[in-house]
Structure 1
Amino acid sequence: MFRRDPLFRALVLLRPRLPRLALAVVCGVLSLGSALALAGVAAWLITRAWQMPPILDLSVAVVAVRAFGISRGVLQYCERLASHDTALRAAGSAREQIYRRLAHGRPELTARLHEGELVSRVGHDVDELSDALVRAVLPIAVAVILSVAAVGVIAVISWPAAAILAACLVLAGVVAPWLSARGAAAQEQLARLHHAERDVAAMTALDHGPELKVSGRLPAVIAESEHHQRNWGDALDEAARPAAFGAAMPTAAIGASVLGAVVVGIGIASSVAPTTLAILMLLPLSSFEATTALPAAAVQLTRSRIAARRLFDLVDDEPDVAPAHSAAPTDLVVRARAVAGHPTAARTVPVDLELPLGARLAITGPSGCGKSTVLMTLAGLIPALDGAVTLGGYPLTQLAEAELRSKITYFAEDAHLFATTVRDNLLVVRGDCTDDELEAVLTRVGLRHWRDGLPDGLDTILVGGAAAVSAGQRRRLLLARVLLSRSPVLLLDEPTEHLDAAASDALLRDLLAPGGGLFGPDRTVVLATHHLPADLTEQVPVLRLHHRAVSASAGTLAGGRPHAT
């Protein structure tokens, strides 16, 4: 049962440094232990000074008060350093594991999500998960150790007072956090929903701002994001109300504990020293300092558990493992007898085609008709709803991930440009390229003059990523990545979008030229486009899709002969 808890499973993602976490716990215990010792020594010192003994009798206590006062701050700083270092390293480890599993896991887990939702999960949810170490695990461990120590010290003086203190500590350290967690869990899911919707609207405005502004929809999208932001804030406020009762309960427990100590102290006043009575009265005040953070810790555990569930909805619970009988096809013929589509979508696209090595195929149709879905199905990124796609006679599901990606590569229409150098943006597809190769592909895609105008050449940083270039330049940079790829089967989604008609037609002819062009006759090219020059429709096969649940399909393409349906 415990192993099914999302937080326990998330340890594989976080990989916390246990020695460093243990150091943080030790520093936290010593820091709050110094506060506890400071209260006890100060109570003894005040009471003993009232008795006006020789000053030398107080010198050790005076030094101890100074030592505990200084050490508390120093140790608390050390605890912050150790705990935050642990949490930041754990967050980095979790993101690394998530990125790795996204790259090698089941694509259908992410294909159905908007980019804003992905950003929310990989960003905010990972932060919530790593915060559990600092804001939950550490406070709980420190509170347990100090509570036991405080009850033990009071038990030496009076068992009834120790029992009262233990009951109040249970109230402040167990019941109050439970109430806080129970109240927060009821509303946290709703708050997360508004958070994700806000991120989706914000990412839409950021990614498609110019197009939305031209169409007049940008103010509405921004207003929608602001609306979700307000709803998110209201939902979080609603989640905080029950937690407020849990946060107030430790204060009531402190009062009850002190009152109990006073009552017990009055009863034993005649049999113990005044200094002992002072310790009995003041020590409970400091013993609750560790438990005041526990309601917030319980709320953090709830949020972290929800974040862990969302992350495991995004990635496989275990890293992707290659099939036991993974194949390495030598025949690179792509055959599809399948129905392409998303599991939750009403529109499906039957696909019946055969692509020998070196074939060319253009997929055309209006937006939303399923062009990208067909490409992603051919690439093995989305499983076919029915039938199968094979490479060299092997179903794509039987191929190891590395083997499949080395043979078939899908280049998305909205592939990301990173806020780094031009060189690094090209090397993401193949890291062993030389500068001469990079210069050559920039020339082949028509970016030679643009590259010559860059202040630092290939070392020029694209500040803001895609925002640093025009839409046409971005499209040509993405196409340069395609040219650098060594995959024999290339699937291109809208490679000429945002180019003027003349440049788009010329580039499409180079991409689809059967005997050469940008790609040699030993490479298969399948591309999706809204527009295809009239002369190309007579030279290359065309798969035309329409806004219908059942679409026309392409027949067998043998030897690259034109065939269109």
Structure 2
Amino acid sequence: MSHHPLRQVLPELGLRPRTVGFAVALGTAALFASTALGALSAWLIARAAEMPPVLDLTLAIVGVRALGLSRAGLRYAHRLVAHELALGGVARLRARLVDALARGPLPRVLGLKRGDLVARLGGDVDAVGEAVIRSLVPMAIAAGVGVGSVALLAFFLPAAAGALAVSLAVAGGVAPWMNARALALAEKASSATRSHQLSTALELLEGAAEWRVSGRAPVLLGVLREDDLRLERLCARAARWTAAATFLLHGAWSASVGAALVLGFAALERGALSQVELCVVVLVPLGAFEALQSMPAALTQLLRSTEAALRLLPFLETPEAETPAAALPSPVLGGHLRAEGLACGWPGRSAAVSGIDLTVLRGRSLALTGPSGSGKTTLLLSLAGHLPPKEGRVMLGGVPLEDVSEQRRVELLHCSTEDAHLFDTTLRENLRVVRATLTDDEAIAALRKAGLGEWYARQPRGLDTPLGRGGEAISGGERRRVLLARAWLSEAPWLLLDEPTEHLDPRTAARVMRDLDGMKAHGRGLVVVTHDADVARALDSVHALAPA
């Protein structure tokens, strides 16, 4: 496979070569109709000046009308086919990317900022799709029209055809290359700025009320203004090169028409060209260069699409084949969860905690305590297999956790973090995340166990109650209890919970802890991150982490 990033990503669009070829053919035919219209119109005007019998001009008159109508119709058809092609491909690529993120290694997703995730799923996917309609198809059309125009001109005057070929090479190769080369530097420099700007904007919009109350909103607005100024400077630098490339493009265009005039008049004086043919020779270059007007933008888009494909590639890589669940030793189903000399942290950062040795048996519970920033949540994610160890290992039933397939880990270990996501859909669908075959009775029972029985009874839409984006339609305590309901519904033998009683009133928190304690009787192991000393005392053992 080619190592060019765009060539590796384009197949994910699922484009059919026949449809792409049809779009190119329609665009080429539309520009040929435009070029032929100019040439035939010039011939008709020159021939009519000789005052021949009107019947001699009838065919040319009909041809001009036909070309004028077909040019508009072919352009419209080309736009329809090309955009349908690109939009369908973008939809398939976006679905493929979401699927790859869902199935890929969790550390890769956990290490993404929200702004970067939006940029990958939004602008970068769109940029790859735009490579088809704004770059590859226009370049193929320009090549076809250029070759056809040179061939047509060679039929009348080979010398003028040679001059046109040189001009097309300069206008279609050198000028766009200058433009793309300049923008390459700007694109690489501005990519990080755009991602930072998007992350800052999301942070400002989603926490607008908090930022205004804290008085820090002007600080973030200042950061956005600085990013804008930086992008403006980069764009201005690229614009100077773009202007030079545009000047070269129009200079080559003018040179080709001038060469056609000089060579055409010389041929006319020698008797090698008629006056009518001279008009055709002069006007053909004008039509030929119409296809090249989009070349600077096409190469620029090709560059941007290549950079976008380079950013998307890591998320589209096929993960290594996982160990089949059936091949795993049976002790994985029982036994213990153990950390041996474990050091863990986020990808690209130093270890947040190290030297961890702990063991939790099924049917027992463990509290992870420590001050804020001591690495409790990081340790919990590592015990769940979401973050790979930096040192040491995690054992599940005597089997290293990295040897257990991801699907199997999800079946065995249910991890509910403090900021676990609630989807912008109904209560029922948010609970079905952990059990696809969930019945209404099971959902209601789980809600009651999580202390949401009274709240649920007040909801007129019941399980169809919308929770809003990230659970914004419910309170922090209700959000926490929905996550607890998910934990009750999980059939995993191990539950790893992050602050399960936070935002709960004392009575509800005590009931939740009683229910958690009852789960041990069914052979389920519990690992609970908590700041609450009462919660820690209610569990079988405590592992305290030192301050960071």
Instruction: Report the aligned-residue RMSD.
Output: 2.4
Question: Aligned letter for 1:392?
Answer: G
The equivalent of 1:526 in structure 2 is 527
Query: For residues 36-71 of structure 1, what are the alpha-carbon distances to aligned partners after superposition, in whole Å with 9 as ceiling and x for unaligned?
Result: 121111111221222222333222222222222222
Question: Aligned letter for 2:365?
Answer: R
The equivalent of 2:112 in structure 1 is 113
Question: Aligned letter for 2:497?
Answer: L
- 2:265 aligned counterpart, secondary structure: helix
Question: Aligned letter for 1:371?
Answer: K
1:381 aligns with 2:382: no
Query: Which piece of structure 1 moves more, 454-463 or 83-92?
Result: 454-463
Aligned-partner Cα distance in 1 for 2:102–2:298: 33
**How much does 1:307 deviate?**
1.2
Aligned-partner Cα distance in 2 for 1:147–1:393: 69
The equivalent of 1:506 in structure 2 is 510
CA contact (8 A) 2:365 2:539 kept: no
Aligned-partner Cα distance in 1 for 2:324–2:487: 31
Task: Among all aligned residue pairs of Structure 1 and Structure 2, give the percentage whose two residues are the same amino acid.
Answer: 37
**How much does 1:316 deviate?**
5.5
The equivalent of 2:262 in structure 1 is 263
CA contact (8 A) 1:336 1:378 kept: yes
Question: Aligned letter for 1:15?
Answer: G
- 1:3 aligned counterpart, secondary structure: coil
Aligned-partner Cα distance in 1 for 2:442–2:192: 46
Query: For residues 294-317 of structure 1, what are the alpha-carbon distances to aligned partners after superposition, in whole Å with 9 as ceiling and x for unaligned?
Result: 11111111111111121224x253
Check 1:493–1:228 CA distance in 2 against 1; reply closer, same or farther (3 A cut). Answer: farther
The equivalent of 2:167 in structure 1 is 168
The equivalent of 1:273 in structure 2 is 274
CA contact (8 A) 2:337 2:359 kept: yes
The equivalent of 1:334 in structure 2 is 337
CA contact (8 A) 1:43 1:278 kept: yes
The equivalent of 1:10 in structure 2 is 9
The within-5 A match list for 1:416-455 is 416-455=421-460
Question: Aligned letter for 1:340?
Answer: C
Aligned-partner Cα distance in 2 for 1:235–1:546: 47
Aligned-partner Cα distance in 2 for 1:155–1:123: 47
Of 412, 415, 440, the residue aligned with 1:410 is 415
The equivalent of 1:244 in structure 2 is 243
The number of residue pairs the alignment matches comes to 541
Aligned-partner Cα distance in 1 for 2:309–2:466: 35
Check 1:198–1:520 CA distance in 2 against 1; reply closer, same or farther (3 A cut). Answer: farther
Aligned-partner Cα distance in 2 for 1:327–1:145: 59
Aligned-partner Cα distance in 2 for 1:400–1:241: 54
CA contact (8 A) 1:101 1:320 kept: no
1:353 aligns with 2:358: yes
Where structure 1 has 5 or more consecutive residues not aligned to the other structure, the ranges are 549-565
Query: For residues 485-544 of structure 1, what are the alpha-carbon distances to aligned partners after superposition, in whole Å with 9 as ceiling and x for unaligned?
Result: 2222222233344x145267336524642x33xx75322222223x21426425432222
CA contact (8 A) 1:265 1:281 kept: yes
Q: Which has the higher helix share?
A: 2
Check 1:511–1:248 CA distance in 2 against 1; reply closer, same or farther (3 A cut). Answer: farther
Question: Aligned letter for 2:379?
Answer: V
The equivalent of 2:37 in structure 1 is 38
Query: Which piece of structure 1 moves more, 272-281 or 223-232?
Result: 223-232
CA contact (8 A) 2:339 2:359 kept: yes
1:470 aligns with 2:471: no
CA contact (8 A) 2:149 2:285 kept: yes
The normalised TM-score by structure 2 is: 0.92
**How much does 1:351 deviate?**
1.9
CA contact (8 A) 2:414 2:495 kept: yes
Check 1:39–1:228 CA distance in 2 against 1; reply closer, same or farther (3 A cut). Answer: same
The equivalent of 1:137 in structure 2 is 136
CA contact (8 A) 1:340 1:385 kept: yes
Aligned-partner Cα distance in 2 for 1:209–1:508: 33
The within-5 A match list for 1:482-493 is 482-493=487-498
CA contact (8 A) 2:142 2:292 kept: yes
Check 1:253–1:392 CA distance in 2 against 1; reply closer, same or farther (3 A cut). Answer: same
1:321 aligns with 2:324: no
Where structure 2 has 5 or more consecutive residues not aligned to the other structure, the ranges are none
Of 478, 495, 498, the residue aligned with 2:500 is 495
- 2:472 aligned counterpart, secondary structure: helix
The equivalent of 1:292 in structure 2 is 293
- 1:429 aligned counterpart, secondary structure: coil
Check 1:447–1:512 CA distance in 2 against 1; reply closer, same or farther (3 A cut). Answer: closer
Question: Aligned letter for 2:309?
Answer: A
